Structure 1
Amino acid sequence: MRGVVVVLFVVSVAVSQGVSFLCSLLEAVLFSTRVISLEAAMEGGSSAAAQMLGLKARMERTLSAILILNTLAHTGGASIAGWAAGDLWGADSLFIFSVLFTLSTLVFTEILPKTLGTLYWRGLWPWAVTPLKIMIVGLTPLIWLTQLLTRVFTRKGQATASPHVSEQEILAAASMGQRGGEISQMEAELIHNIIGLEEISASDIMTPRTVMKLANGALNVSQILPEARKWSYSRLPVYVGDPENIVGYVLRDHILATDPARHDPKVSELARPLHFVPASANALRLLKHFLSRRAHMCVVVDEYGGVDGLVTMEDVLESLVGAEIVDETDQVVDMQELARRRAKDMLAGREEQKS
């Protein structure tokens, strides 16, 4: 009889600790596995990834199965093992057994498996799918009962965790990926800059009106041709009369390809349509505008319709990569800084004249 009790004690402790270890490991893997990693694996043809996504999509049911089995293992194992310990070593041994069993439960069924699941979820999640599905099937009646009780105490329509990922979560994931070596620093910066495009307005990145280079549409090609040969820009806005009256833009190559001896049109006749955008338009909207209309530049106007400046696809791309895009022909890198210097010099000149 004593031998049977010893076997019962050993089996109850081993089963209780083993099942609890498994439940804690599965719980940690379930929470640690990232949806984006599963979606990438699913695109690669992994059926396990699709099943794991289904388990995460019905997290309440999956988590209920884990917690029910874990509770049964803890409670049942502790009860049977405690009875066996009292029978083997007397009632005085129950306190010592309880302390040792609690410490074992804390270390070997909580801390250790959850640490392992959190650290090694990438290699564990494909293995975790099968035991999780078996647990759900085997505990379906109890899961249904717990969900029914939960609904009784939960108001219909009560806020639940959103399945969507917020911008802050994406930024945090990018930073974590960079620190973990999953993505490069430049890739992380691109993610941050893409999300930040909505916070950047056209007025933040435009070339101010005071330093805009314009082509006089009233001139003939023969008159502007010598100057056009020196342009460092591939296209320029065209105005007629008042510089505020911008009628389009002209391509430098188009002017250079025109032979004034055979045909000498006015520059305005070569102008192509140019779109106007408000100064408040954000960089993401500008990017969509440029791509959808296959445009390269837009005139920025204020709330009264006056010309504020010029914004180009290059300006948006600079915001995206976080650096100025320059080539060997660019004499000025920051046009906004140039505009500020000119304004400062102009004010200083006026003060000198007054004095």
Structure 2
Amino acid sequence: MIYLLHSTILITHRQWVNYTRTVRGFRKPMESSVFSSISSTFEATGEGSMALLIFYISLALGVSFLCSILEAVVLSIPHTYIAVMQKDKSKIGDLWSKLKDDDAVRPLTAILTLNTIAHTMGAAGVGSQVQMIYGEDSLTIASIILTLAVLFLSEIIPKTIGTAYWKQLAPVAGRILNVMTTALTILIIPIQWLKAILPKGSHSLVTRDDVAALADLGEEEGILEEDEETVIHNLLRLREITVEEVMTPRVVVTSFQCDSTIRTILEENTVIRFSRIPVFGESIDDINGIVIRSELLMAASRDEWDRKISEFTKPVKSIKGDNSVDDALDMFLTQRQQVAVVIDEFGGTAGLVTMEDVLETLLGEEIVDELDEVDDMRELAREQADTSEE
């Protein structure tokens, strides 16, 4: 719409001059009226000023060029970059934080106000001077030239520059916008009042999709490694993945009966591959706690072979299978635990989830050591289930 403003003003200017000539015979009764003042201003004298013509063209194009660059910078600079500048204790960062506050209403209002004033005054002035210097027949050509000049020189080119070089322009643009918003405060306040009345939309400055997209872009541009991108994506998905998707199923869980002695355990298990082993009572659905492998081995080294496992049992937390992995991670960190029993919908034992399972989900890789005979315990459980069916 702003591009049509110049043509409308220039073409309408010709109609206005004709109108003033028509009412010239009635000027005496209307000398104190508004129409008399306006018609006197636009009436052709036959002597225009080339200096004024250049001034009005410069006003329309120059101010609009500046406003377009500032608008592009305001809309391009992200809140994340502003936060980085603030973290570096930059005054420009604090300045931009204020400018971008409340959806950047203040700077955008100042830019659009100044831009509209420049377009209107410039187009009206150019039309007046062209008509006086070159005659009314030149108004149409002048309107076309001015419209194209505004389109390319004060819209497309400056906005392209502002969008491409917003980071370099941010310091200067911030200071200019600070002066503009201060000078045009009287025009900005009503807009802020109007915005306060309107219903507020619920939106976030940065969404999870934005973070995921930034991770993809960072990996494509070589800023992030592929494994770093994977960690970011998996981290964003932790709340969507359930515990039962990553747990060790009960059919492949290594567990000890609470009345067993250290002698019995070590005779039956020459190699204990896990550092923490669940201890059950009557059945696997009756988990009493866990024992730590190092404590059993220390007791054996002291020849305490006949001590029961129950003497070494420590409490263990439980978590429902439909809880998210994010919930499990929070529980492990707050409770300072490494293992939790997964409970199914009937209160029985569905399996075991560990901090290692959470880390594997986060990294997207199985963590194995020299004692692990199987990389994926869930895959082992599926193989055993298939074998039993056959």
Aligned counterpart, 1:124: 169
Match for 2:280 among 239, 248, 271?
239
Residues 145, 225 of structure 1: CA spacing in aligned structure 2 closer, same or farther, 3 A cutoff? closer
Aligned counterpart, 1:140: 185
CA separation in 2, counterparts of 1:124 and 1:186?
Answer: 34
Counterpart code for 2:141: I
Counterpart code for 1:82: G
CA separation in 2, counterparts of 1:155 and 1:295?
Answer: 49
Q: Is the partner of 2:49 in helix, strand or coil? A: helix
Residues 2, 51 of structure 1: CA spacing in aligned structure 2 closer, same or farther, 3 A cutoff? farther
Q: Is the partner of 1:130 in helix, strand or coil? A: helix
Aligned counterpart, 2:56: 12
Residues 245, 142 of structure 1: CA spacing in aligned structure 2 closer, same or farther, 3 A cutoff? closer
Q: Is the partner of 1:81 in helix, strand or coil? A: helix
Residues 207, 221 of structure 1: CA spacing in aligned structure 2 closer, same or farther, 3 A cutoff? same
The residue correspondences of 1:70-219 to structure 2 (distance < 5 A) are 70-147=115-192, 151=194, 156=197, 158-160=199-201, 162-219=203-260
CA separation in 2, counterparts of 1:310 and 1:227?
Answer: 22
Match for 1:322 among 354, 359, 364?
364
The residue correspondences of 1:27-106 to structure 2 (distance < 5 A) are 27-58=71-102, 59-106=104-151
CA separation in 2, counterparts of 1:229 and 1:240?
Answer: 22
CA separation in 2, counterparts of 1:135 and 1:190?
Answer: 44
Aligned counterpart, 2:297: 256
CA separation in 1, counterparts of 2:223 and 2:58?
Answer: 39
Superimposed CA distance per residue, residues 105-143 of structure 1 (whole angstroms, 9 cap, x where no aligned partner) = 111211111112112111111111111011112222222
CA separation in 2, counterparts of 1:39 and 1:310?
Answer: 41
Counterpart code for 1:28: A
More displaced, 265-274 or 326-335? 326-335
Q: Is the 8 A contact 1:208 1:339 kept in 2?
A: yes
Question: Cα RMSD over matched residues?
Answer: 2.1
CA separation in 2, counterparts of 1:103 and 1:157?
Answer: 37
Q: Displacement, 1:22?
A: 0.9
CA separation in 2, counterparts of 1:137 and 1:282?
Answer: 50
CA separation in 2, counterparts of 1:146 and 1:276?
Answer: 55
Q: Is the 8 A contact 2:61 2:150 kept in 1?
A: yes
Q: Displacement, 1:346?
A: 0.5
The residue correspondences of 1:284-323 to structure 2 (distance < 5 A) are 284-323=326-365
Q: Is the 8 A contact 1:216 1:238 kept in 2?
A: yes
Q: Any unmatched runs of 5+ in structure 2?
A: 1-44
Q: Displacement, 1:179?
A: 3.5
Counterpart code for 1:288: D
CA separation in 2, counterparts of 1:161 and 1:106?
Answer: 35
Counterpart code for 1:104: A
Superimposed CA distance per residue, residues 194-249 of structure 1 (whole angstroms, 9 cap, x where no aligned partner) = 12101111100000011111123221112222445511211211123322221111
Counterpart code for 1:232: R
Q: Is the 8 A contact 1:228 1:252 kept in 2?
A: no
Amino-acid identity (%):
37
Q: Is the 8 A contact 2:341 2:351 kept in 1?
A: yes
CA separation in 2, counterparts of 1:225 and 1:6?
Answer: 104
CA separation in 2, counterparts of 1:161 and 1:123?
Answer: 32
CA separation in 2, counterparts of 1:66 and 1:181?
Answer: 37
Counterpart code for 2:369: D
CA separation in 2, counterparts of 1:186 and 1:16?
Answer: 52
Q: Any unmatched runs of 5+ in structure 1?
A: 349-355
CA separation in 2, counterparts of 1:262 and 1:280?
Answer: 41
CA separation in 1, counterparts of 2:99 and 2:196?
Answer: 24
Aligned counterpart, 2:42: none
CA separation in 1, counterparts of 2:135 and 2:165?
Answer: 43
